[in-house]
Structure 1
């Protein structure tokens, strides 16, 4: 029903103008429908504005890489990944991740919940993509206020924008990987119906078992990582009306994922975090904190926050590369897993020269329903001889351990004005609404589900205005961009629940009984006002082509970011990352001032690129650890100042016209300073009556003046050799040295470096009118234990030596 409504609205906007002036010369029609070059950056509207740090990864390369977005981009300059098993990974760019790295699908938001936790998959498919773009500078403000590190745009052809030349166009691909017995099949076809209608169908299926490693100690040494399997199925259908002056199309996509959550400690399953004391005065004066604890203030936090687990987790050893999980892990059966469903409807249209002064108008609309369930594995967290514990665990097998729901709508309208001399520009507006919540079911002795929401139900609404102008003068190109964004986040409170908890205090006479009326005590009415904020960002770039072979680029920006609902309201456990997380409703707007300087050079033999950058943040929002018991963390969102700076570059040389060698590297450094007071454990001179060990108090004290930012990726150096032996045969050899990361944050452990050696061989030819390409790839040939410092599971090794073969046919 909703899809039909947005299609009708789109038709009203275009107003039947697609087929205006139907009599066009054949030459004009071919010019409009000419196929775009594959290295064009669709997220950047003006090709002349391409900077040295902008990246385009072709679909041909993506077909031989990982199926998850972060891992697929991890070989690019300045890009790392935060992998979580075999089912999820997101890009970390120049030390920034999550909400600071906007991820787009064909220029509109990917609507999912990947920013909440690294175990949540990014619901976009690189194996079906035409290309993936990484854009920096002024163009990023067309899509977000807070992406100085860059915007990632995954481009596919789910909505055809041109008629297939032969009346049809298709592609089929299959891949098999020896490690984890991964099988992948993907395909798409576009068919022209008459002169103006094109239909599109594409699909993907992937099935991978647990991946193998040189060895991992889980009480015994095994050669695979449990719960790193993945199953994915994607089906997409599109339809377009294409005319001489534009197009209007729609698509529908259904995606299902099932993947494991590695690294889970079942001793945490029944843990609770004691951060607000129900006996404290805060509950006496503000009883609404019981159903809605996200309304807590800083003063409500206990001086000694702690856990209640009724398990022996505190006696486990710490995480290390020799003892990665920090406890003996039962791998006889699979652990917890995720069942994910994403339904997405897109409408896209473009109309050229609708009236004088406008070069074109572009409309994009997206409606998505996303939800995933985290399922309990039904394992006992104590010794299996404990029959009661084991029996209770078995009853939980397959039951919900957490649910995450998000329904989102996004629409954007762009107006490209007619060029005025050498001045080009685009202005537009965007509206986005996402209704989301999360719940963790609790099962009592009769196993009747009761839900407690760690993320209270809310709707996040954002309205933005944006503009980008480009002016070219001789060998200089100037760009200026700006974006203003207004955010409103109403929380959906249950009036009956609030009445139940507050009426005893508001009207004690209504609760009189045999023993009299409740005493009158002072109380505070809840502040249920809607969170509102505004963000203003602006940026400028100068590109100087001072020589036919050189381009110098300078970008300056001021970026602002409003706090996300997760950072404001989350209150509860997320044991996929072994944490209890708590939001902070008093967070302020985050600000940053950023500079990037880059130089590129290219001639017949040499090409070079070097970029350096500096990001200075005020009110930098991060998740700080306020208490840790062994490997279980209690974290709360807080703010400080921060700075990130780094350098990235590569140098290529053609030994012969068919053989090229490239040296590359990147480095990023992140620091936090002016940190708020933190909790520290101080001996109180007493003995704990339960353990007999010295007891402690936790007090707020001044912290370090400066601290390393958490999970900052290590420095890397790499060497690539690419060879074309003939028109049909080509090969690649790549070596990467990732260094040890010992510049770590509080309660963070160093991560070993590694050597990565990969080899690829491809053969391409024709079969009739079809082109095909066969590939062979050997990855991690040295079978290194690879640990990713930017991962929340940095102690879990990544995939070991693996070989893959693939075949791709275009017809």
Structure 2
């Protein structure tokens, strides 16, 4: 750790004096016009390699303070569409004219990276849900919302709790973020604990597959889910006041949900408020299985308020406060003697800011801080069984430097503190405090058509508990290198190599006792060592033309993989599982295809298909538990003017590659239909949507669920809703 910090300090000193290396800084100006000579106002202009963004004025003018050299590549964004212009020569004595046209490729930015980047520029596989697609796929929890994305499944625990699984990896190895910071809840402790991020409030959800530990530490050794909302505004509303409201109803659970947000501004201040409420009944099961899933209802609500001060150069500082409440039942077998409910409360405070060009050599500083007070009680009838609390905070500081010989990137520091306790008859984890510190460097450079990314990170973790005689301190080191080769205007090939380490958490080290959520008696292992993942990701993408596709292949080899192994013993009437370590591998393929069959001025017909497969094995040849089965899907999307109809069929194959004492699951077929209609008036936009799921009323047993044998998925369901934006 000391060596890494020393390197960071030397590097920062080098950056601060880099004006002598990089050359003289001059002022250049330009003007953006469309092909028809119309002036473009409010266009965003960026010189590639520099994250400073300028907005054109009412005459299409912009101005940059940049290093004097011969040519630049500019990125111009107009109404969410982007164009790149290579070899633009600027001169300090004249205004350079740039003529743009709207691209047929909509830009989708990924915020869970050092700098906001287009999905197509990422070396690792990324999926982004936003707009109509996100509206249609929203569900009662985050895992169910993402469950049908390639490479993603859900560890469901009824409709109240569902944590995403990426490529067979789940739990604490998947980092769930809220605007780039951890959710700071207790969802990684047990599969019956809900993720506190609410899908109804999300404006965008980003899925980063594979080790993303350089930015987010050992908790991201399997991947990252980043839920993006506007709770801390980063820009002033264009129209002074903007907002949206949505209501929806789902028949299978009789879900009634409503959500609303409002964004406004005055002077240099921007504010945001939002709120939601959801009520459901017990889930209706497929007709072949009977009536309802007992104790699967939900009652949830929440609200957030935020305020930001925004400077003319887009620098800002903002705060937000949010409250999350969720009361949901844990599904039980019919005629169960005891029904358990979880009553969750979380208060969260966030600070976020960015400062452009604070001093020589640095083009941007980003700062984020989050603090929460989380509590949930497990109610056994009217009595409180166990109380879980998690008081945590997290801070991130990222310093983005100016390009150095073509290299651009950031130095970063991340600090986490966690005070966790579980008190009650079924407290299988003792109280503990965890402190961690991570420092990292991430850099990238373009070599003609190849973009190279490299980075290193060092983490230190200290665990304290009354059950320990001395504190446990360990260090972890991670490194990665990746490349993206745009070998054709329509094609790109990417390769990412990573070695990432994760330090065992308190649950793995200290657990001892009955864990009724997983129907097991859990034994921690104080002798656990850190685990290491050696990952290879290869992706081929075609992103232009009538046929677009993405093909991903991955291989992830774990040294000292930590998992729960059945001992064959029984304690308190429950099978005993011991945390242990063994080498393991995860490998698989993912495929997505969009093929435009017909495209006219008023109508578009697109065929789409997807498939994914993952294999999880121990070094001795045994299979790992709860690995999702092979999945193949296809569908037709019909768009005509303001109408949108999407038919989707997904086949889940039988899963009989199972671990010891695990049961196999039969295959099933999901048939879903989405129908949207958009209506625009002078001031408002309306979206009316209908989503029909599991139209065949098939028996759906989710193999990745801990309670798959007692909690099947919902039967046929119809979701109706309306969204209004202004």
Distance of 1:83 and 1:36 partners within structure 2: 35
Distance of 1:410 and 1:651 partners within structure 2: 39
CA drift at 1:594: 0.8
Distance of 1:141 and 1:51 partners within structure 2: 14
Aligned to 1:676: none
CA drift at 1:110: 1.0
Aligned to 2:291: 223
2:498 is matched with which residue: 557, 561, 564? 557
CA contact (8 A) 1:59 1:127 kept: no
Aligned to 1:729: 643
After TM superposition, the structure 1 stretch with the greater mean CA deviation from structure 2, 336-345 or 143-152, is 143-152
CA drift at 1:55: 0.7
- How many residues align? The count is 625
Higher strand share: 2
Q: In the alignment, is residue 210 of structure 1 matched against residue 151 of structure 2?
A: no
1:347 is matched with which residue: 346, 351, 373? 351
Secondary structure of the corresponding residue to residue 669 of structure 2:
strand
Q: C-alpha deviations, 1:322-375, integer Å up to 9, x for none?
A: xxx5xxx316x9821000001110000000000110010000000011110001
Aligned to 1:670: 616
Q: In the alignment, is residue 639 of structure 1 matched against residue 639 of structure 2?
A: no
Q: 1:783 to 1:121 in 2, by over 3 A?
A: same
Aligned to 2:553: 612
2:273 is matched with which residue: 185, 201, 205? 201
Q: C-alpha deviations, 1:663-713, integer Å up to 9, x for none?
A: 21000001112xxxxxxxxxxxxxxxxxxxxxxxxxxxxxxx321001111
Q: C-alpha deviations, 1:97-149, integer Å up to 9, x for none?
A: 11111111101111011111110000001111110101246865111235343
Distance of 1:719 and 1:238 partners within structure 2: 41
CA contact (8 A) 2:166 2:209 kept: no
Q: 1:573 to 1:215 in 2, by over 3 A?
A: farther
1:252 is matched with which residue: 321, 338, 348? 321
Aligned to 1:652: 594
Structure 2 runs not aligned, ≥5 long: 1-55, 65-74, 82-106
Q: In the alignment, is residue 416 of structure 1 matched against residue 400 of structure 2?
A: yes
Q: In the alignment, is residue 769 of structure 1 matched against residue 718 of structure 2?
A: no
Aligned to 2:202: 129
CA drift at 1:188: 0.2
Q: C-alpha deviations, 1:384-404, integer Å up to 9, x for none?
A: xxxxxxxxxxxxxx1111111
Q: Provide TM-score, normalisation by structure 1.
A: 0.74
Q: In the alignment, is residue 480 of structure 1 matched against residue 480 of structure 2?
A: no
CA RMSD of aligned residues (A): 2.3
Aligned to 1:790: 704
CA contact (8 A) 1:137 1:541 kept: no
Secondary structure of the corresponding residue to residue 191 of structure 2:
coil
Q: In the alignment, is residue 107 of structure 1 matched against residue 186 of structure 2?
A: no
CA drift at 1:604: 2.0
CA drift at 1:216: 7.1
- The residue correspondences of 1:408-557 to structure 2 (distance < 5 A) are 408-441=392-425, 453-492=427-466, 528-557=469-498
Q: C-alpha deviations, 1:301-339, integer Å up to 9, x for none?
A: xxxxxxxxxxxxxxxxxxxxxxxx5xxx316x9821000
Q: 1:417 to 1:136 in 2, by over 3 A?
A: farther
Q: In the alignment, is residue 175 of structure 1 matched against residue 248 of structure 2?
A: yes
CA drift at 1:550: 0.6
CA drift at 1:421: 4.7
CA drift at 1:603: 2.7
CA drift at 1:592: 1.4
Secondary structure of the corresponding residue to residue 517 of structure 2:
helix
1:232 is matched with which residue: 290, 300, 318? 300
Distance of 1:33 and 1:406 partners within structure 2: 42
Q: In the alignment, is residue 582 of structure 1 matched against residue 523 of structure 2?
A: yes
Aligned to 1:368: 372
Q: Provide TM-score, normalisation by structure 2.
A: 0.83
CA contact (8 A) 2:454 2:480 kept: yes
- Highest relative contact order (Cα 8 Å, sep 6+), 1 or 2? 1
- The residue correspondences of 1:693-704 to structure 2 (distance < 5 A) are none
Aligned to 2:692: 778
CA contact (8 A) 1:646 1:668 kept: yes
Larger Rg: 1
Secondary structure of the corresponding residue to residue 353 of structure 1:
strand
1:756 is matched with which residue: 643, 652, 670? 670
